Amino acid sequence: MSTILFATSEALPLIKTGGLGDVSGSLPIALNSSKHNVCLILPAYSPALREAGDLKEIARFEVPSAPAHVRLLEGKLPGSSVTLWLIDCPPLFDRPGGPYADQDGADWYDNALRFGLFCKAVSMIAMDQLGLSWKPDVVHCNDWQCGLIPALLASQENRPATVFTIHNMAYQGLFSQKEFYDLQIPHELWSMDGVEFHGHFSFIKGGLATADMLSTVSPTYAKEIRTPQFGYGLEGLLEYRSDRLVGILNGVDYTLWDPENDPYIVKSYTSKTVRFKSLNKSALQEYMGLPVSEKTPLIGIIGRMVEQKGFDLFLDNIEWLISTEVQIVVLGSGEPHFEEKFKIAATQYPQNISVQIGYHETLAHHIESGSDMFLMPSRFEPSGLNQLYSLRYGTVPIVHHTGGLADSVIDASEENQKAKIATGFVFNEATPESLLATLKRAIALYKQPKLWKQIMKTGMKQDFSWKKSAKQYLALYQRAIEHAKNS
């Protein structure tokens, strides 16, 4: 029996900005069992308070540098038996806007204080300092927002083990030295072995330097982040700690993402009734204002419109795509220049491309079920979830060979087709030319329905459920517990 405190800055269905929300809303459920008890802890943002249902206050305490009393609220992660704890400090978390940024998309000016306070409160709970008579065996910390937790715990006697999971090295939580001192945390942490990074205060470095075990969300990304191209200056530290670093691919919550029982889609289907997928396609074409046509290949795109996702590689190929008669549906939001380019393309080619800027959970399901192909040209992708969803929906993924995309999609080379193991299309270079060559291959194969169906069906049969990954996390926790004992 082990007890796990799972700390995160977002979790479905309470609050989500990207894949971390999906993972934190489903991995704790997969881990929670008669043998392992999981408590999920996150800040009490306004939407989380609204979505959480019944909550009761179980502790009220002071945290140095907090602008108000802090309360610990307890409930259940909706739809599950996982215990939910929310760290409530209204001046910091109960405000309109997102978890990391205000309504205009600018990072909250006080993020160091907001997540610093969260980390301090979690480490107090982990050390049983609130009188709850409860102590976890492991604290599982996710991304930079939780990076100070292992650092605060590292020097404590009789502490729980710590695991730090990197979901994206591109987001590091970098602040100033003044913000470090304002947080009133032990000054010894300001060192090369702690949170100091080239004169800045780095939350992520706190986790990377001090956690008992490190993980990231795919085996390939675990290798990539040890190189200058993907390590953002922290590759040396990651290489140094590589004996403590593992890659565990994200799983899928098939209760939410499976065309057999997806309540959002027009017509359910399985690999045996894949012909019904076309009803979802025509509904999507109609909804997005595109001509309804069964034979025109339809490419879906969903994602945050940021450099990472490589949408510019795709935009560079728009003219060729239009000339071959394909349709493209796009859902996303992010950097204004990307949004603008997509909007211009949709205005120029209204018969072929339709774009929705914004965040729409339901439309994301319609795109997964109604598209023939799903494009992820990411420059880097720690794990990626949409290619995993696409496989299950028979929506053949076209991906760049990087991170979790490389670990989950098998290219439709002739050899792999013959062996009946192909599940999608993989291009090797993050260039418009490499993407174009692969788009051409995909569209040519789409015109051979028998071969195409084989690829769809092989993809639909893949199992990326959490079961396997949850087992790997439990083994990781055991290793962390061993290291903590010997530290």
Burial class (CB in 10 A: 0-12, 13-18, 19+), 303: buried
Binding window for ligand ADP (CB under 6 A); candidates: 59-67, 140-148, 301-309, 419-427: 301-309
Q: Which residue of the chain is nearest ligand ADP when measured via CB?
A: 19
**Residue 224 binds: one of ligand ADP, ligand GLC, none (C-beta under 5 to 8 A by kind):** none
Residue 359 binds ligand ADP, judged by CB under 6 A: yes
**Residue 453 binds: one of ligand ADP, ligand GLC, none (C-beta under 5 to 8 A by kind):** none
Contact positions vs ligand GLC (CB under 6 A): 18-20, 23, 167-168, 217, 250, 381-385, 404
Q: Is 314 or 452 the residue whose CB approaches ligand ADP more closely?
A: 314
Residue 25 binds ligand ADP, judged by CB under 6 A: no
Minimum CB–partner distance for residue 184 and ligand ADP (Å): 32
Q: Is 26 or 83 the residue whose CB approaches ligand GLC more closely?
A: 26
Give the residue among 185, 208, 9 at the shortest CA–CA distance from 100: 9
- Report the alpha-carbon distance of residue 332 to residue 350 in Å, rounded: 18
Q: Is 13 or 90 the residue whose CB approaches ligand GLC more closely?
A: 13
Q: For residue 419, what are the contacts with CB-CB under 8 A and spacing of at least 6?
A: none
Residue 280 binds ligand ADP, judged by CB under 6 A: no
Q: Is 19 or 173 the residue whose CB approaches ligand ADP more closely?
A: 19
Token representation of residue 57: 């206050």
Give the residue among 352, 359, 395 at the shortest CA–CA distance from 374: 395
**Residue 217 binds: one of ligand ADP, ligand GLC, none (C-beta under 5 to 8 A by kind):** ligand GLC
Q: Residue 186: count other Cβ atoms within 10 Å of its Cβ.
A: 11
Is 30 within 8 Å of 470 (Cβ atoms)? yes
Q: Which residues between 366 and 405 bind ligand ADP (CB under 6 A)?
A: 383-386
Q: For residue 281, what are the contacts with CB-CB under 8 A and spacing of at least 6?
A: 294, 298, 370, 371, 372
> Which H or E run contains 330?
strand 327-334
CA angle (14 as vertex; 9, 15 as ends), nearest 5: 55
Minimum CB–partner distance for residue 22 and ligand GLC (Å): 7
Q: By CB under 6 A, name the one of 142, 210, 333, 402 that touches ligand ADP.
A: 333
Is 202 within 8 Å of 218 (Cβ atoms)? no
Q: Is 232 or 359 the residue whose CB approaches ligand ADP more closely?
A: 359
- Report the alpha-carbon distance of residue 331 to residue 319 in Å, rounded: 20
Residue 360 binds ligand ADP, judged by CB under 6 A: yes
Q: By CB under 6 A, name the one of 361, 415, 433, 463 that touches ligand ADP.
A: 361
Q: Is 447 or 468 the residue whose CB approaches ligand GLC more closely?
A: 468
Q: For residue 383, what are the contacts with CB-CB under 8 A and spacing of at least 6?
A: 19, 167, 217, 218, 221, 249, 250, 403, 404
Burial class (CB in 10 A: 0-12, 13-18, 19+), 317: middle
Residue 18 binds ligand ADP, judged by CB under 6 A: yes
Q: Is 48 or 385 the residue whose CB approaches ligand ADP more closely?
A: 385
Residue 251 binds ligand ADP, judged by CB under 6 A: no
Minimum CB–partner distance for residue 249 and ligand ADP (Å): 11
Question: What 3-state DSSP class applies to 420?
Answer: coil
Residue 329 binds ligand ADP, judged by CB under 6 A: no
Minimum CB–partner distance for residue 469 and ligand GLC (Å): 11
**Residue 63 binds: one of ligand ADP, ligand GLC, none (C-beta under 5 to 8 A by kind):** none
Q: By CB under 6 A, name the one of 252, 331, 353, 399 that touches ligand ADP.
A: 331
CB-based contacts of 409-416 (< 8 A; 24+ apart in sequence): 412/441, 412/442, 412/445, 412/455
* Residue 6 CA: distances (Å) to CA of 207, 211, 481: 14, 14, 15
How many residues in the shown chain lie near ligand ADP by CB under 6 A?
18
Minimum CB–partner distance for residue 380 and ligand GLC (Å): 8
Q: Applying CB under 6 A, which residues contact ligand ADP?
A: 18-20, 22, 302-304, 331-333, 359-361, 364, 383-386
